[in-house]
Amino acid sequence: MLLSLQHISKGFGDPHDPSHRPVLKDLSLEVEEGEKIAILGPSGSGKTTLLNLIGGLDHPDQGSVVFDGQDLTAFSDAEMDRFRNKRIGYVFQFHHLLPQCTLLENVLIPTLVDPGNHAEKAERAEALMKRVGIWEYRDKLPGKLSGGECQRAAVVRAMINAPSLLLADEPTGALDRENVETMADLLLDLNREDGLTLLVVTHSAGLAGRMGKILELTNGKLQSA
């Protein structure tokens, strides 16, 4: 079992105040290594909140998040930062590349905390960028490239430290139909060839339909779609 969420609850605001808004309610989820899972749900249902809890960007009010046998809720912020950098990749709807850095520099940003492996990471960056068809743009700034090219760079950046799990929050939401297919192909290739575990939040029925399992988040809980 790569990931286990047990009885997770999360809300916003003071729990003792009438304005408190519960989002996730006694939610449990188990993810096996190599699975590819799509999570659907209406806006405001808590999908991004769920990914943030799994990725250690936020903390649950109750419950545990166990990743490869380690309880992430017991980590300090510094411990969580180090763990996330090595084990969890994150792709957002918008690529969030630094506009003043080249594509290659953006891809290598997660490696800066471990400069001793620079040569090895540089080789991995080249291999990954060639694999997704953006190596020729390595010296260009993001503003000179298309949204699809930048989003592929964001996936490479998330993969540069060879994580076990990729969390993708609407990774195709800002792309046209052709680039949606390209992104779906890329994610599935990584799952199949690298054994990468995928957890994808999406509104795209096409992308969700290519995952191995589809779950729907409604009323704070997950259920099979």
Give the pLDDT confidence of 43-68 residue by residue, as tens digits: 889 999 999 999 999 999 999 999 99
- Rounded to whole angstroms, how far apart are CA atoms 147 and 204? 17
Give the predicted TM-score (pTM) of the model: 0.92
pLDDT digits (tens, 9 = 90+) for 4-41: 999 999 998 877 777 778 899 999 999 999 999 999 99
Domain boundaries, the chain: 3-224
- Rounded to whole angstroms, how far apart are CA atoms 198 and 99? 27
CATH class of 3-224: alpha beta
Decide: 182 and 105 in contact? Cβ < 8 Å.
Answer: no
Q: Which residues touch 169 (CB under 8 Å, ≥6 apart)? A: 47, 48, 51, 90, 91, 92, 93, 201
Which pLDDT score is estimated for 115?
A: 65
Quick one: DSSP state of residue 69?
Answer: T
pLDDT digits (tens, 9 = 90+) for 162-197: 999 999 999 887 778 877 888 888 899 999 999 999
Statement: residue 213 has pLDDT above 70: yes
Quick one: DSSP state of residue 110?
Answer: G
- Rounded to whole angstroms, how far apart are CA atoms 67 and 3? 5
